[in-house]
Structures are given as structure tokens and as C-alpha cells.
Structure 1
Amino acid sequence: MNSYRVGIAGFGAIGQAVAQSLDAGLPGLTLAAVAVRDPNAPPAFAWTNGAPKFTTIGELAEHCDVVVECAPAAVFRDIAEPVLRAGKKMVVLSSGALLRHEDLIDVARQHGGQIVVPSGAILGLDAITAAAEGVIHSVTMITRKPVRGLLGAPYLTDNNIDIEGITEPRLIFRGSPREAAVGFPANLNVAVSVSLAGIGPDRTTLEIWADPSLERNLHRVEVVSDSASFSMEIQNIPSANPKTGRITAQSVVAALRKMSGPLRVGT
């Protein structure tokens, strides 16, 4: 069984949830380090097996074999590049930011590193990647979110779209995941992940709806290919951060288990 030292970049709702699972004990995995703004004043956390090393994002790679990125998209490159240049694994949650730094894929290739995009808050990436081995004709994703989870998105601000007082579902965006990654950087990493698994961020169609009747994030994906036609829908319970579903952190833990476990289920 392989053994990995894991680092976490960012210690918000997702980072803490992943840290809690690692601290409780996962076979073959050790939480070695956590990158925070001020390593000399780390946030309070109830560690059961001793606190890991706190460090900066620039120094995180030297302490770890795998780094989990769950920080603001603005520091994505600062986290990812040192890890990939060191030939290590990078678990990426800000897949939208990856579109703005696609050259990092070549960095990983040149230095023997690997970028791992977990399922996050979406489902069916295994089916989509399998279908992509043949010909996918179309991928359409429809996202519906509670109003509070979309407030402050740059796309709404730039286009003077006010959704605070709406009483009925409202279509606020229709376009590609590449466009959405810029306009909704804190919301639509799931759409980018779907596009990377399938026909790419420019050919995938995405609709975003603000729905005042919802308490959960809802994503529906419809795929038509030469091997299968299928649709999938998931309703995510928000975490402490309303922009993120609880299952996101759990998908990271599941991805880490696959790296070290004796049994791997799913493509």
C-alpha cells in the first residue's frame, strides 16, 4: 500500500473538513502540513492526533507528496506551480482557475506531477470520461442555486443583474463553462469539471438559474454520445459556506483514499 503525506492549502470550510477526516485517521495518509496566511498564528482547531506543521503556500510542497487546493482562486497558481514542478500530486477544487492557467498541465507533464480533479459537488464524471473515449455529441448542464449562494458574483455585478428580491426562478446566465468560470468563480467549478471530463469548456452548454424557492444547490447534466445517452441530477446540502456543498469535502477524502487504498471503485 502506498503512503502519502498530505498538505492542505486553505483552511476554510472545505479545508477543515478534509483535515478533520485526516486527523481522525485514513490508512496510508498523513496530514503533514497546512498552509495558512500567517503560520505563526494558525487558526484554532481541535486536533486529536497532534497539529500538523503550519506553513506558507510557497513552502507547502516541500513537506508533502499530495497537496489539496481549497483556497481562493486568486492564489491558485501560487499553490499549484511549486507542487507540480516538484513532481507531486495536486488535488484541485478550483478547476475554474485551472482554465486560466492551462499551462500548468504542461508543467505537470514535464516534471512528472499530476493534477487530480475530484468530483466535488457534481456526479457522473466517470461516465462522462468513459463516453469521451468515443464521441460525445453534446453536454448540457443546468445549475439552480439559492439566491444567497450567487450574490456577489462578478457576472451579476458587471451586468447590473439584481437577484436579491426575486420571487420566481430566474435564468441569469447561458453560455460556456469557460465564460462562467470568470463570471462565477466561487460557484461553478462543477461545470468546469464536467467540461474537462467531456467535450471541453467551450463546447459544453451551461445554464445558471437563481431560484428563491431552493435551499440546496441543484445540478442536472444531460449527455448524448455514440455509446450512451444519460442524464444525472444532484441536490447538494450547502456547507458552512453557502457557495459550496458538503459533499465537496467528502469527494476530496474519497479521492485521497483511492490513492492509497487496496481497492479502487469507479473509472
Structure 2
Amino acid sequence: MSGQSNGRQPARVAIAGLGAVGLDVARALDSGLPGCRLTAVSARDRDAARTRLAGLATPVEVVAIEDLEPLADIVVECAPAALLPEIASPFLKAGKIVVVLSSGALLAHPELIDLAKTYGGQIVVPSGALLGLDAVTAAAEGEIRSVRMTTRKPVKGLLGAPYLVANNIDISSLSAPLKVFSGTPREAAVGFPANLNVAVALSLAGIGPDRTTLDIWADPALTRNTHSIEVDADSASFSMTIENIPSDNPKTGRITALSVIACLRKMGAPLRVGS
């Protein structure tokens, strides 16, 4: 595949979106990530992006989204979910790799998966703020009977979510935990597009976005995003909990950027641990 390193030339990596995650990934690539080199960045405000990237050791082009594909073999999507088709389509049509953080948008745009199949591209969803996806993926090779996820977030991490606005759920002055949603990752991807990509990733690894169940709590006492998962399968039953420290963006955990960096490192590594 054209997006993979051949062992001699490092894969050219572009970043679409330069928020907290995109900037951390850019800095890691600039510091040196074996098998990869940063070649281009796109951002809503290109002048501001150039300023944010001024400290990099190696200058990098800041271009419009539509100009990214010729400049890279891999694109890392760190942008608002609505931009995923615009970012991913050119790379997939060129048989390249798209690393997707807005995994919820994949449910609304299944044609992207069709593009990958047709042209030999690949969509990669990093584990992000979730643990145990390898175990879920392995269990899915057998029979998974149920997957349940409970997410608890600080109030500021959920403020403004479309589901809360549409249902007139005011969490701004909570004094106790409140369950604000119970449903599926498919529903959550629409109602909480900036918050619950982890639930979609879990569902894609396991039994799908309609059979996975999800509860979301707003908790004024929390300072960390907390995800608990319970899986019942014919190969194993297991439960997992992770508490993620928020990044500069309260909707995103610090581990999300690290997950992308680990994903890129794994692509060209001589030893790869984990499926």
C-alpha cells in the first residue's frame, strides 16, 4: 500500500486539524518518530497554525484540506467530525491511509469504507481514550453476547452537546451526578459528536453500533473522563475502567494524542505488540 513505509523512505504524514491533539502529534513527529515524517498540516485558521508551528525544528507546509493528499501518504484527522469526508476521500481514492479520530462520523459516512475497499486505502481508528480494544477485537472473532459502556464526564466536557441542547437538559449547575443519555453509540455519535468517539470505536471493534449499549453521566465532582466497559463473550468475560486526564480541550483526553503517536510508531516498527 502506498501509505506504508518501504523500510527506506519514511512515510509522509499530514495532519488535518491543529487543535490540542493535532499539535501534540505534530510536535512528536517533529521530534522524530521512526518511519514517519511530518510533511503538511491543514487548519481552519492557517495563519494561526503557522504561528503555533513556528517552534518546530523542521518547517512544515500549512495548506488547505484539498491540497493535503499529494503531500502525504498518511493523513491524521484531528478536525471537526463534519470535515471527515473532505479529508479522507482524496487519500482513500489514492489508496492511502487515513487515521480517524472522529470515528463517530464513519457511521454517518459508510461510503468512506466503500472507498477504502474500492481503491485499496485503509481507515485506521486508534484506540484513543479507550483501553482493551485488542481484547474486544479478539473476542469478536468468536461470539460476543453483550458490550456495555458507562461514561462519566466532568460537566465542562459535555456542555453544548447537541443532544443536551435538543432535549433541554441543563447541566451547568449540577450538584450531583446526572445520567444524561442511555442508548447506543450510533445515537451518541449524533448527539455527542465531540465526546463519544470512544464508544463508536468500541462498537466497531465488537458487536456494532446498534447492539452496544451506552450510558453517559455528567458528574460535577469529576476532573477526569471515565469510561467503564463490560464485555460478555464465549471466549472471556472482562471489565475495564480508565480515567483519562483531559487535554487543553476538556472534551478530549491527553491519551488521545499519545494513542495516535503510538499508532504511527507501530506502522513502521520492526516489533509490533498488540493486534
TM range (shorter): over 0.9
The match for 1:186 is 194
CA deviations over 1:62-100 (Å, ceiling 9, x no partner): 100000000001111110111101110000000001110
The match for 2:130 is 122
**Could you tell me the percent identity over the aligned residues?**
65
Give 1:39-118 correspondences, 5 Å limit: 39=46, 42-44=49-51, 45-118=53-126
The match for 2:246 is 238
- Is 1:225 the counterpart of 2:233 in the alignment? yes
Aligned partners of 1:50 and 1:30: how far apart in 2? Answer: 10
- What amino acid maps onto 1:181 in structure 2? A
Helix, strand or coil for the counterpart of 1:58?
helix
Asked if the contact 2:116/2:123 (under 8 Å) is kept, the reply is yes
Structure 1 unmatched ranges of 5 or more = none
- What amino acid maps onto 1:235 in structure 2? E
Give 1:30-45 correspondences, 5 Å limit: 30-39=37-46, 42-44=49-51, 45=53
Give 1:194-205 correspondences, 5 Å limit: 194-205=202-213
Asked if the contact 1:38/1:56 (under 8 Å) is kept, the reply is no
| TM-score, scaled to structure 1 | 0.98
Moved more, 28-37 or 108-117: 28-37
- What amino acid maps onto 2:17 in structure 1? G
CA deviations over 1:110-152 (Å, ceiling 9, x no partner): 0010000000100100000000000000000000000000000
Aligned partner (choices 5, 9, 12) of residue 5 of structure 1:
12
Moved more, 53-62 or 114-123: 53-62
Helix, strand or coil for the counterpart of 1:126?
helix
Structure 1 residue 39 displacement after superposition: 4.3
- Is 1:132 the counterpart of 2:140 in the alignment? yes
CA deviations over 1:8-65 (Å, ceiling 9, x no partner): 0000100000000000011111001001235466431243422111111111111000
The match for 1:17 is 24
**In 2 relative to 1, CA 42–240 (structure 1 residues): closer, same or farther, beyond 3 Å?**
closer
Aligned partners of 2:170 and 2:201: how far apart in 1? Answer: 28
Aligned partners of 1:162 and 1:39: how far apart in 2? Answer: 35
Helix, strand or coil for the counterpart of 1:233?
strand
Helix, strand or coil for the counterpart of 2:50?
coil
Aligned partner (choices 140, 147, 155) of residue 163 of structure 2:
155
Asked if the contact 2:183/2:213 (under 8 Å) is kept, the reply is yes
The match for 2:268 is 260
Structure 1 residue 184 displacement after superposition: 0.3
Aligned alpha-carbon RMSD (Å): 1.1
Aligned partners of 1:169 and 1:13: how far apart in 2? Answer: 27
Aligned partners of 1:98 and 1:58: how far apart in 2? Answer: 19
- What amino acid maps onto 1:240 in structure 2? D
**In 2 relative to 1, CA 114–164 (structure 1 residues): closer, same or farther, beyond 3 Å?**
same
Helix, strand or coil for the counterpart of 2:105?
helix
Structure 2 unmatched ranges of 5 or more = 1-6
| TM-score, scaled to structure 2 | 0.95
Asked if the contact 2:18/2:49 (under 8 Å) is kept, the reply is no
CA deviations over 1:185-206 (Å, ceiling 9, x no partner): 0000000000000000000000
